Amino acid sequence: MRDRFSRLSILGASLVLAFAVSARSVQADICGSPSSIDDGWTTASPDSVGIDGAQLCGIAARLAQRATSVHSVVVARHGKLVFEQYIPGYDEPWGQPDGQQVFSATTKHDLRSASKSVVSLLVGIAIDRKLIAGVDEPVLKFFPDHQALKQAGWDAITLRHLLTMSSGMQWDEARAWTDPKNDEPHLTFEADPIGYVLARPIAAPPDTLWTYNGGGTELLGNILERVSGKPLETFAREALFQSLGITDVEWKAYKNGKIAAASGLRLRPRDAAKIGQLVLDRGQWNGQQIVSADWIAQSTTPRFQAIGFFGSTQFYGYQWWMGRSLAGNREIKWVAAFGWGGQRIFIVPELDLVMMTTAAQYGQPKEGLAAIDILSNIVIPSVRDAH
């Protein structure tokens, strides 16, 4: 996505070499065997859950061959972690060029716009707890202190319109970060970024136009703070992360000090994969219902064609993406969280499978394609049974 703060400089030949070295080292480490770090995951071998482990071992070579800037690949099936791989390379943690990084099972990574999908889960939890009546609540109800900014048409916008990015507000974050017409940078430096979003004019009636919009997610994050009476990260820890056994969390703030609901979450890849497993298991983790199954179903129902993003087969729900992969002669549907730079959480219900990737493909023309390549051409074909 376009939740960026700087452009990645051209990667040098040293990164390609790092991939190649990593590929050789992985071969010597029982390729992709998950570490036991007492983080709540049950680990198992790929073959024990119907996956061809030898085929998964091809991931390292494929990444090295293509110099994809991928930092991690994590795979879980039947609720068990069966594969993880970490690759050193250049990164820009929270938009700050930081050079070469060495990643591991205990290294946090930017999720960028995959944060939006976590916000969606938190909205569902708030509704489950009766902190919010439902998705048809009007947005302005939660901002009595910003009534003076109200533009014509805002009275008709509900939480559902923010969740589906169909509010119709005038918003453009597809431009260069330095372009003054790019709305997203205003979230970082405006003294009142919420006021900036609420002051945007309405360009189309709600429910008629899908436009990628991080500003709407910022409103959702602020609403969660208002109804819970807690900072967003505190509410997220108590309502979601604690139940998932996720303790190493960081939710970054913009330069103006406001929490970056749409893009600031940093998690370990294994913990991000738990988010995928939660959705796969209809809101449950280890038998505990954390968010209602109904919310998961609503969130992952296709509601809009995501025109202009990642091809014509992408759909959008409540801050979640939906698409499909062609593996051999099979069309496999998936749900996903997408983050700029190649951050991906894929949920494949038909195969009871989750795959998570992190990367540093910021600003690259084929950003995110490495993840879908690995999913469609290695991970899905490695599944040897249909259940």
- The tens digit of pLDDT for each residue in 15-27 reads 333 444 344 343 4
Q: Is 228 left (phi over 0), alpha (psi -120 to 50) or beta?
A: alpha
Contact 214, 196 (CB under 8 A): no
Per-residue model confidence (pLDDT) at position 222: 98
pLDDT in tens, 354-370: 999 999 999 887 888 99
Q: List, in sequence order, every residue forming a beta bridge with 347; answer none if it has no partner.
A: 335, 354
Closest CA to 338 of 306, 382, 381: 306
**Span 244-267, average pLDDT:** 96
CA gyration radius for the chain?
Answer: 20
CA dist., res. 222 & res. 227, Å (int): 9
Q: Which of 101, 143, 124, 62 is nearest to 278 (CA)?
A: 124
Domain annotation for the chain: domains and CATH numbers:
13-112+264-296+322-382 (3.40.710)
Mean pLDDT of the chain: 91
* Token pair for 217: 């997610």
Q: Which of 207, 119, 140, 164 is nearest to 298 (CA)?
A: 164
pLDDT tens by residue, 86-138: 999 999 999 888 889 999 999 999 999 999 999 999 999 999 999 999 999 99
- pLDDT tens for residues 147-192? 999 899 999 999 999 999 999 999 999 999 999 999 999 999 999 9
pLDDT > 70: percent of the chain: 90
Its pTM stands at 0.92
